[in-house]
Structure 1
């Protein structure tokens, strides 16, 4: 019998919500995406924001996955921005290839009915059933969250010098960074060209409401022998109650690339993070940026969450 998706009964909603919360907490902590109480706080906030009216919320849908007389688990879906999002997949036991094929076909039917042409899935590395579901179906990695923890001690002579960004340099930085991030949003497939600029501007304003004076935001220019070769932007966060630095933007000037300055800037990020009291560094990288991914992994960063995208 074909695998079917059936709406979750109302009397099971509370138990399902608790299962999702526990799944998010455990997977976040096991992957290292969030640790300690951070994972619990995130799970509660996530569920509150996506299910503001509880079972009556209409912006997402929860289904049981049924194969004949057997229930395989649950799947939580959202439809937005031209795609179906798999928000959570809760499978009780290992599925067969035939069952996964049936579930994927059911997902495609949801996309067809919603008249969207993409499926998006965010997975932690240890989510075996999720990876099995999307495996060999043409999904590409849209984005990756990475963490370096603890910060390594490297006995290196700095190749680049980083100094706090000036007010004058900040103005051109904002213009360039917004445009570059918009281009990346388009290249990643996450946004259409007409929406990418607005989203990039929104995120810039969110992170820097007071411009260069915004507390917790550290912006630097990098130079070699007095000539600027790039810039670095660190946002200070909290990770299980401790200072944590996040690389919000980093770039080597186009005419200064392939000279080792990218690696040197990442080393500078480690030094600045430690100076600011952090013992961990996080970052986000788009899946198409394979050179940057290779660099980060060679420095010891590990993948803690990946988002996959399929064009139907």
Structure 2
């Protein structure tokens, strides 16, 4: 009998939850996306948000992965699933025994059959850099990169002065920036395949309001226009964060203006971002980039950013 997915018995939920919490913390810390107590707090908040009613949470489905067709039949792991907006999310995939390629094939078949039964048409999975079993499961099975989190740590000591100048964004410029940035981010969410147009507009507005409640004067935000040879060539939005109790900066938006692209300004703005991060005492910079933006990914990797978490998507 091929690999089967069997609902987790309620009597086993507490043990599963403890093991899953430990795994989520370990993956976050191992990838260095989050460190120390930050990883613990993030994992706890994540579990509380997605499992508000524990085992009985209607939006989650926790399954054991059983294989009775081997010489040593039994469970080989668990998979935690959640559905939203036409996508079935693999929230966590944990193997207790390393599967072989045949078992991975059968698990994939079982998941795609479940997707069909649930009436959704896409399967999504996020993986941390250190999750070797997860990456092996996705390899060669038609998943496409939807988005990723990247990290530059430590900030390199570059002996190069950026050829662009950052200036604090004016209230007048902020008004046009905010409208454009919110609309562009919604478009990117749709292009990534993870959101419908309506859901993307809602999510983009939510994030803009959360980050910039007081506009250009919002606390913990650094909004710049970038200038070269007397012209505005782009914008840069940095959020001040903490990471392992130390200052950290996150790139919330970077844009090179039309008419000024393919001249190296994107790289120069990112170099200027490093200087801005140092000025607030940060030793690391994080960012999010969509998978379709191959040029930006290549730029960031050339500057030393590494992938710490990736989200993949597959149509079924």
TM class by smaller structure? over 0.9
Q: 1:219 aligns with which of 220, 223, 232?
A: 223
Query: How do 1:110-259 and structure 2 match up within 5 A?
Result: 110-259=114-263
Structure 2 match to 1:87: 91
Structure 1 match to 2:78: 74
* Larger deviation, residues 234-243 vs 51-60: 51-60
Asked whether the 8 Å contact 2:6–2:63 carries over to 1, the reply is yes
SS in 1 for 2:259: helix
SS in 2 for 1:254: coil
Distance across 2 between alignment mates of 1:83 and 1:198: 17
* Larger deviation, residues 45-54 vs 188-197: 188-197
Q: Is residue 28 of structure 1 aligned with residue 28 of structure 2?
A: yes
RMSD of equivalent CA atoms: 0.9
Q: Matched residue pairs, number?
A: 312
Asked whether the 8 Å contact 2:162–2:269 carries over to 1, the reply is no
**CA shift at 1:304, angstroms?**
0.2
Structure 1 match to 2:18: 18
**CA shift at 1:158, angstroms?**
2.2
Q: Deviations over 1:280-308 (max 9, x none)?
A: 00000000000000000000000000000
TM-score normalised per structure 2: 0.97
Structure 2 match to 1:292: 296
TM-score normalised per structure 1: 0.98
Distance across 2 between alignment mates of 1:17 and 1:263: 43
**CA shift at 1:194, angstroms?**
3.0
Distance across 2 between alignment mates of 1:263 and 1:42: 31
* Larger deviation, residues 191-200 vs 122-131: 191-200
Q: Is residue 37 of structure 1 aligned with residue 37 of structure 2?
A: yes
Distance across 1 between alignment mates of 2:258 and 2:229: 17
Long gaps (5+) in structure 2 = none
* Larger deviation, residues 192-201 vs 50-59: 192-201
Q: Deviations over 1:93-149 (max 9, x none)?
A: 210111111111111121111110000000012212211211111100000100001
Distance across 1 between alignment mates of 2:302 and 2:162: 18
